Chains A and B, each alone.
Chain A
Amino acid sequence: MEYIVQQVLNALSFGAEYALLALGLAIVFSIMGLVNFAHGEIIAVGGYTMVAFASLAIGNPMIVMAGAVLAAMLASLTLERVAFRPVRKADPTTGLLTAFGVSIVLQNLFLLFVSPRPIAVTSLYFLDWSIEIAGIRLASLQVFETLTTIIVIIALMLFLRRTVLGLAVRAASLDFEMVRLTGIRANRVFAIAFLISGLLAGLACIFIMARRGSVDPHLGFEPVLKAFVACVVGGFGSLPGAVLGGFLLGAVEVAMLVMLPQSLGGMTDAFVFMIVAMILIWRPDGILSPAVEKGDKL
């Protein structure tokens, strides 16, 4: 019983991390059709901010966490202004390759100006202790992660449904020109989307850093790759799809970790991706894919 509860919680916390990141990717994609490969570098910016706080001898964990999230949001906003605005109207492939280039540049900037080696960050260890509920031992970090994701999803839903700006964001994913005709500034909608995306990346960064305890230039790569796969499985551009894909991926990954023998330990990701590929044979556009208009609009 204890074992099952633990594995379910494992699956939920893995899934929560992927869902957070996948949501950040999906909200940007739904509005401007941009596959943001640089999302992982936003996470790394958060990680390096923690390093900066540590070297300034600021130990207060609340300041460290808030600083990391703010830095991630700022970085996300800056990328939109500097790199993605010129390709705003371009086709998805152009946007994808731009983001890919931005990601390479940022990774190498970290390499050049900080260090190619991992740097330890110890200020977040306090998040992780083991708690006991009804005789079942759980890791607090996993509980926090799952709860945070649930709160974020609810908050995001309220924002998108109850506020004018949220409505504009949702409408922009359907018909951007129409939104502009109603007098809402395009730049503001893009800024909001990237801010939300950065916020989600910053939150994910806290949990990733609390678990890993160190930051290197490739910090964000692996989680974001998983988040991409989650987006593809859920249906690229669909927010519920991103959440569903994230949790599904978490469940498959934990199932693989439990079922695969120890000797195949290094191959977990390969098996996870293969199972995901099977889902894509069944539904090539993802499970909850939004309807795509391929022809000309009349």
Chain B
Amino acid sequence: MIRLSSSQKSGLVGAALLALVLVAIGLLTTYFGSRYQVRLVYSAYVNLIVVLGLQVFMGNARITNLSHSAFMGIGAYAAALCVTPENIKKISLPDAPWGLAQFSLDPVVSALIAVVITAVLAFLLGMLIVRLTSIGATIVTLAILVIIHAIFLYRTDIFKGNQAFFGIPQVFNLTSVIAIAIVVVIVCRLFRESRWGIQLRASADDEVGAAAMGVQIYRLRLIAWVLGAVILAVAGICYAYFLGTISARPFYFNHVFLTLAMLILGGMRTVTGAVLGTFLISFGLEGVRYLETGPVFLGIDLPEALGLSGIALGAVIVLTMALRPTGIMGNREIETLFVRQRH
């Protein structure tokens, strides 16, 4: 029997509360949502997993990461390359090297392989990242995003670049992604409250102090980085297994902005913040997108306004930083809103 600390117990309570919210939104969509709305909610859940993967590193080590969409892409492409049937790959990837077009595996094995590949890559890149000071690390993650995107575009014989990589079996539905999101919420929350998570957060508050207390900062950052990458790979797999086609474009800047704004608005220090920010922006942005198409609103024919959603996202980031830099939730998790904390 594992003895849990009081913060870990309240972490489990918090994760359970968040799981209830996730299930409730899922049930509402399943019973009342149209086909389009189900797709929308599905993508919100995929983004939720991305934001959670981002939170593990950014929220605990407090180093801004801009390469997360690239790791999502690695997971998605690796799984897609393994799972797509041979006959489809012969058509879509006729020049694939190393016999990539000559095999296909079942979805679970493919997903596992994709996660392992992403984790290994993240480990190698992470060894460089964790040693840098915070600003340097951020710039290097930006460079990683650009490099990986360049590889996706350049090796069209494997990734098809900006063209669609099609024929991925659509094995996931809303229920499966909700189940995975709940597992990820629990993992993130337990990591945050674990010994490692607490030490890492301490090192973010006071690097010298934490090191003096014996915290191995580089090792802990690396653990958080790889765990984050694994979660991002899972998000990529969920994306690919639902849509059935992927291309390089969704794993680049626009997606980085979007998910970063979600995490910042909700508050990157907490798992609750990640969940809150994701849903606020996912649903809020739908309204902005509606305005973007130039609808007739209250009798006024509005012009088409391409770029409005981008302005909204940027404004969310700027305003959050100016008014409330720790996001809506700050340091509070969901259970502290209901349970009086004992000190």
Which residues in A have some Cβ–Cβ distance to B below 8 Å? Answer: 29, 35, 83, 86-87, 90, 92-94, 96-98, 100-109, 111-112, 116, 225, 228-229, 231-232, 236, 266-267, 269-270, 273-274, 276-277, 280-281, 284-286, 292, 294-295
Contact = CB atoms under 8 A, between A and B. Distances in A.
- What band does the interface of chain B fall in when counting residues whose beta carbon is under 8 Å from A? 35 or more
Q: What 8 pairs across the A-B complex have the smallest Cβ distances? A: A101-B317, A108-B310, A104-B314, A105-B314, A111-B307, A108-B307, A112-B307, A101-B318
B136 A101 contact: no
Contact of B311 (A105, A228, A280): A105
A33 to B, nearest CB: 8
Contacts of B128: 277, 280-281
B157 to A, nearest CB: 12
A232 B140 contact: yes
Given A101-B316, A112-B305, A270-B151, A87 B321 contact: yes
Contacts of A286: 136
Given A87-B322, A101-B317, A294-B207, A273 B143 contact: yes
B310 A111 contact: yes
B162 to A, nearest CB: 13
7 contacts: A86-B321, A97-B321, A101-B313, A104-B310, A112-B308, A231-B139, A270-B150
A86 B322 CA distance: 6
- B139, B144, B308, B309 — most chain A CB neighbours (10 Å): B139
A229 B135 CA distance: 11
Contact of A98 (B140, B150, B308, B322): B322
Contact of B136 (A90, A284, A294): A284
Nearest to A270: B147
B6 interface: no
Nearest to A274: B147
B96 interface: no
B103 interface: no
Nearest to B310: A108
Nearest to A33: B135
B315 A228 contact: no
